[in-house]
């Protein structure tokens, strides 16, 4: 359960404690939080002093209750000698780190509480690195100071002038931040996978008889291969540089041309594949939507496999350990490979025009191709693909 302790100097401390925790152990926790020695603490609940041997449940303390802590002058002088060994410096570190460590170690109940509420500090207490222990104590002191500052700001807002515009803006910001924090906490509890790194989809293939790791991207309009990779696979001799252009996505790359057909092997079956060749050294081989559609591929995330030919072949997606590190740079992948290029996200890293005219002549070509039965958006895309060449665009549309 959580209880709130208010000190004599109006410091507010929130603690997570067990219902059957003893008052003495509660004071030991407060000693760390407030820097007030245990012997000098006097705790009051409903106006009555809480005895060290009593438990919180016997005293009637329940979740959310408030406990007052005041200094006990009578015990301060008699306990001065014993309190020196656990005295804390203004920055939160222990005046005598070794003595502080030993005293906390000797208190089994306190250690058990620490392992529940602050495992990092508990491990430092049990460890042999006093510098690390001091660093953690300083860090906890800074965290408490920041928490107190936030609580003070919240209290100021509660008593702020309701007609003060600036105060209302701060209240609005605080409410908004609280909603964000609650949403974040809910995500950590119910959807922790959202904070994990997502590994992109790669499968093993063979291109022209050479093993490759292909990046499967249904958001890419075209299948892409880099110039260096095409050269290594012996395919660069088939490059048709009439299909030059610019691939636009998040960033842009130069399209060097097109390889119209080459064999790829997925599982034990060979399939014909077309490639756009890009001057993109960071993305060797991207298996795009054109080939995914052509070969009726299914991205099965339940079984973590890519099914090809409507299911005649299934190949597993690679685990992170099986993917070369150079492929895991997602930022470079997004720049070099495909992503949405326009506002609707419908133009991935397929080739775009290097500069066809968008005047009356271009519109006339659009009209002629639309009259052949193609929709306008496909016609415009095909004309851009072939730099305004009407015949090549028509051949592409008929071939699709």
Q: Which residues are catalytic?
A: 217
DSSP string, 103-132: HHHH-HHHHHHHHHH-HHHHHHHHSS-HHH
| Cβ(243)–Cβ(230) below 8 Å | no
Residue 12: helix, strand or coil by DSSP? strand
- Cα-based distances in Å from 166 to 162, 163, 173, 179: 10, 9, 11, 20
CA angle, 332 as apex, 327 and 335 as ends, to 5°? 130
Query: What's the start-to-end Cα distance of the chain, in Å?
Result: 66
Measured from the Cβ of residue 54, the count of other Cβ atoms closer than 10 Å reads: 17
Write the CB contacts of 278 (distance below 8 Å, at least 6 apart in sequence).
224, 225, 226, 227, 247, 253, 254, 255, 256, 336
């Amino acid at each position: 359960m959580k209880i709130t302790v208010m000190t004599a100097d109006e410091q507010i401390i929130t603690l997570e404690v067990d219902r059957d925790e003893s008052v003495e152990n509660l004071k030991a926790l407060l000693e760390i939080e407030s820097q007030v020695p245990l012997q000098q603490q006097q705790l009051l609940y409903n106006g009555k002093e809480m005895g060290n041997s009593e438990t919180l449940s016997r005293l009637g303390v329940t979740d959310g209750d408030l406990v007052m802590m005041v200094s006990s002058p009578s015990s301060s002088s008699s306990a001065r000698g014993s309190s020196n060994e656990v005295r804390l410096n203004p920055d939160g570190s222990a005046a005598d780190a070794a003595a502080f460590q030993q005293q906390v170690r000797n208190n089994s109940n306190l250690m058990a509480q620490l392992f529940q509420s602050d495992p990092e500090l508990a491990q430092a207490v049990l460890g042999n690195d006093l510098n690390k222990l001091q660093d953690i104590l300083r860090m906890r002191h800074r965290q408490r100071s920041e928490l107190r500052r936030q609580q003070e700001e919240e209290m100021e807002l509660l008593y702020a002038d309701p007609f003060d515009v600036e105060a209302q803006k701060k209240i609005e910001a605080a409410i908004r931040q609280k909603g964000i924090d609650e949403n974040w906490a809910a995500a950590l509890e119910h959807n922790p996978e959202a904070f994990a790194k997502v590994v992109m989809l790669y499968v093993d293939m063979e291109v022209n008889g050479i093993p490759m790791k292909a990046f499967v991207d249904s958001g890419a309009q075209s299948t892409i291969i880099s110039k260096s990779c095409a050269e290594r696979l012996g395919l660069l001799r088939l490059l048709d540089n009439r299909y030059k252009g610019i691939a636009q996505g998040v960033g842009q790359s130069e399209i060097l041309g097109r390889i119209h057909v080459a064999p790829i092997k997925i599982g034990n079956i060979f399939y014909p594949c077309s490639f756009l060749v890009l001057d993109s050294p960071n993305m060797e081989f991207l298996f795009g939507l054109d080939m995914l559609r052509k070969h009726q591929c299914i991205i099965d995330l339940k079984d973590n496999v890519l099914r090809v030919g409507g299911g005649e072949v299934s190949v597993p997606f690679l685990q992170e350990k099986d993917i070369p590190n150079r492929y895991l740079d997602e930022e470079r992948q997004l720049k070099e490979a495909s992503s949405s290029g326009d506002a609707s996200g419908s133009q991935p890293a397929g080739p775009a025009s290097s500069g066809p005219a968008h005047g009356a002549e271009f519109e006339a070509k659009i009209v002629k191709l639309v009259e052949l039965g193609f929709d306008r958006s496909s016609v415009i895309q095909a004309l851009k693909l072939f730099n305004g060449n009407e015949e090549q665009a028509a051949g592409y549309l008929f071939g699709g």
